Amino acid sequence: MAFSQTILDSSGDHPLLDGLNADQRAAVLATEGAVLVLAGAGSGKTRVITHRIAWLVDPLGVPAWQILAMTFTNKAAREMGERVGHAVGSRSRDLWLGTFHSVGVRLLRQLAGWAGLQPSFSIYDTDDQGRLLAKICKAQNIPESHYKPKQFASYIDKAKNRCLGPDDGRLHEAAFGAFEKKALAVYEHYERDMRLANAVDFGDLIMRPVQVLAKDPEVCANLARRFRYVLVDEFQDTNFAQFELLKFLTSAHGNLCVVGDDDQSIYSWRGAEVGNILSFPEVFAPATVIKLERNYRSTATILKASTALVQGNRNRHGKVLWTESGEGDPITLAALPSDRDEADWVARTVDGMRDRVKLSQIAVFYRTNACSRVLEDSMRRFRLPYVLLGGMKFYERAEVKDALAWCRLLVNPDDSAGFLRAVTSPKRGIGDTTLDAVQAHAARANLSAPEAARDLLRRGEGGRNREKLDGFFKLVDGMRDGIDHLRANQVGERVLALSGLRKALQDEGSPESQDRLENLQQLLAAMSEHADSADEPTLRSFLENVALVADVDALNADKERLALMTMHSAKGLEFDVTFVVGLEEGLCPHANVVNESARDGRDLEEERRLLYVAMTRARKKMHLSYAKQRRRFDGLDMPTQPSRFLQQVPRELVQVERVQDWRSALPWGAPAPGLRSAPAPAAVSRSGAWSPSRPSALPGSLLSPHQRAAGPGDDVPVIDRGGSADGFAPGGKARHARFGLGQVLDIAGYGGDAQITLNFPGYGVKKVIARYLSPA
């Protein structure tokens, strides 16, 4: 601190401090010791962190490699890296900057020996974990009717978040219930198999380094000396294990700066402890506490509404956010007859502002992923380009996972999950019988699945599938040759070509297989990009990153598309215009959480914070909406009540739009008699608030919702159907290499990419891409 002061005194000011307010400056300058920055939404948090890092590097002259900065998303890490790079140039490359999990991988790679792992260990994702647990359940004769693998996954996750390994006495003491007893047994079995497969899961990435550091003071001291300055973003989301890691890493000097906002704590369900941020000043006493309360993002209206909402919570530090921005537009609150009308309303409103607002500056937030489908439908019908965050992630697609399974097996010969997947994709005549035998042998001989398979072959016991299995391993071993000296994409290309994955898809020739081939091509592109930009161009390095990418990272502001995402994904982002939809009881707050007595109402408070996070994303204009009727997953339309949270939004900030039956629908109830300043009745907006630019694309139901009869005729298709493409016509014939001659039933799309539905005698109805067909 004295050092900073000197620099300030001599130069008077510094470009890095330009444009920072007094609190922000204080946060940048308090470099030594423990610092807690309570940063309200939109208070310039990222700016403070990046300037602080830059300040450490230059003028303070701290070598970049002595600085460790951790975030929760790759996107935040990347943004931070870019902004620091802007300030200090190439020196930023030496920073240790990444997500908790990526830093965990790096640490664990170095500590592998201490943790009893080979450095080539694999990272099992939730899917691999689930499969393994299902296998264990079967082996332990646990009927899935009673406990589901998912429950065990959650148990294990929770244990690891608290750094409790399966041998931990505290876990055994707590195992009195039937479930806990079973879960603990499953956990033990699970860890055994993970070790054999030389694999770790997400929880291990934090817990294992912590265990090593706790056990070995010397290793800990070395590491703590290496990182002289540690920074953490979104500190309110850290769990116990992460907090432990921080304590060890800073044990030599205590230079720990954490930035967070208790009002934005929305991850308690996955182990985040708000207590970490609340107790920080005591745990790291004496700590400097700095509050950033000036909001630079939103209009006064949006800020007031958000603040009013979150003030409904009792458990909070209590900041008072303020802004010098003007009032701006009122908040729009729309009540729509149904979820479909709501989605159409969003689409239409977006469509109506396209000439004024860039699509990339618009986002729609909802509580559950399931809400996205109806929105997607509307976006498609209105021909609005969109990105969907969440949902099926690229790296979760079957074909991508198949290719990655091969890659993992190349890098880590013990990767059981990778082996079990690769050996059956593409199909090579090896099935459950063989693999059951392999796994039985693996369990007996304490081997990973692939090693067990090799062992069976060596003993001449491969059964009928000896040769197939043998061929598989020859293929794998051949591919493995020299992979450490090749670029990731070169190995990837080798995998696609030699595994038969590409050929299998090419032979299929369906529209889906075409998509899948493109996904594989995209995978190669991602590998190539990684090889160009990462420290290490190898496949191993690529796989490390792949396991840790989330979908938000794909959000690309360059593309002119609006974004659809859950409220959780919204954290850390900002947009000019936002829509927060589905504000209904049971959805937001969610039905599983509305019980106020549960956990002292803390769950309910988290729901409120979640909405607060969503609301504080908007810079200029916010739309809130709810549907009076929502279709459940079983297809039934259920009546709904407006969210209780809407009552906490001051009505003078809100303009009600397009409400059918507005007296009963308003969350505040019927207006007081004679109240002239009540929001405009719905009729006003109904009559002409919209002038549809593309009437043909608009379903008439928006104007008269009750005329809509749900049914197949409801959809206005985007793709023109019934035309001919490349000489094919419905009713005509076409030839396919595998299926032979077939009758064309339907054509969708144009040119070589057209999707043609045909009936092949003996094969049935298939969808095929035009370019895979030849004229009859």
Instruction: Point out which residues bind DNA (CB under 7 A).
Output: 72-73, 99-101, 126, 134, 144-145, 150, 202, 266, 269-270, 368-370, 390, 424, 427-434, 463-465, 548, 550-552, 566, 568-569, 590-593, 633-635
Least gap, CB of 238 to DNA (angstroms): 11
Instruction: Provide the angle, in degrees to the nearest 10, between the axes of the packed helices 149-161 and 240-249.
Output: 30
Of residues 328 and 462, the one with the C-beta less far from DNA:
462
Tokens representing residue 106 in the block: 């790096």
DSSP state of 661: T
Of residues 602 and 686, the one with the C-beta less far from DNA:
602
Give the closest residue to 212 by CA, choosing from 188, 239, 170, 241: 241
Least gap, CB of 74 to DNA (angstroms): 7
Give the closest residue to 211 by CA, choosing from 325, 115, 142, 307: 115
Q: Residue written as tokens 């796989």?
A: 543
CB atoms within 10 A of CB 529: 13
Q: Residue written as tokens 């090799």?
A: 454
Of residues 232 and 266, the one with the C-beta less far from DNA:
266
The answer to whether the beta carbons of residues 616 and 297 sit under 8 Å apart is: yes
Least gap, CB of 487 to DNA (angstroms): 26
Least gap, CB of 668 to DNA (angstroms): 26
CB atoms within 10 A of CB 198: 20
Least gap, CB of 729 to DNA (angstroms): 27
Of residues 116 and 429, the one with the C-beta less far from DNA:
429
DSSP 668-692: T-SPPTT-TTSPPPHHHHHHHS---
Beta-strand relationship, 755-760 and 764-769: antiparallel
Q: Work out the burial of residue 1: count CB atoms within 10 Å of its CB; fewer than 13 is exposed, 13-18 middle, 19 or more buried.
A: exposed
Least gap, CB of 144 to DNA (angstroms): 6
CA distance 405 to 569: 28
Residue 98 amino acid letter: G
Least gap, CB of 486 to DNA (angstroms): 28
The helix or strand, by DSSP H or E, that contains position 610, with its residue range, turns out to be helix 602-615
CA distance 593 to 610: 12
Least gap, CB of 763 to DNA (angstroms): 8
Q: Count the helix, strand and coil residues of the chain and give each as a percent rounded to the nearest 5.
A: 50, 15, 35
Q: Collapsing DSSP states into helix, strand and coil, what is residue 523? A: helix
What region does 294 belong to: left with phi over 0, alpha with psi -120 to 50, or beta? beta
CA distance 363 to 390: 14
Of residues 490 and 499, the one with the C-beta less far from DNA:
499
What region does 298 belong to: left with phi over 0, alpha with psi -120 to 50, or beta? beta
Least gap, CB of 228 to DNA (angstroms): 24
**Phi and psi torsions of 727, nearest 5°:** 85, 0
Of residues 714 and 720, the one with the C-beta less far from DNA:
714
Tokens representing residue 598 in the block: 């549960």
Of residues 369 and 724, the one with the C-beta less far from DNA:
369
The answer to whether the beta carbons of residues 409 and 419 sit under 8 Å apart is: yes
CA dihedral sign of residues 241, 244, 249, 250: positive
Range list of β-strands (E), 530-572? 562-566
Residue 626 CA, chain-centre distance (Å), reads 25
Give the closest residue to 713 by CA, choosing from 722, 701, 730, 723: 701
Of residues 405 and 593, the one with the C-beta less far from DNA:
593
Least gap, CB of 391 to DNA (angstroms): 9
Radius of gyration, alpha carbons of the chain: 29
Of residues 153 and 224, the one with the C-beta less far from DNA:
153
Of residues 465 and 490, the one with the C-beta less far from DNA:
465
Least gap, CB of 767 to DNA (angstroms): 13
Of residues 291 and 571, the one with the C-beta less far from DNA:
571
- Residue positions annotated with a catalytic role: 45-46, 233-234, 264, 617
CB neighbour list of residue 755: distance below 8 Å, 6 or more residues apart: 511, 747, 748, 749, 767, 768, 769, 770
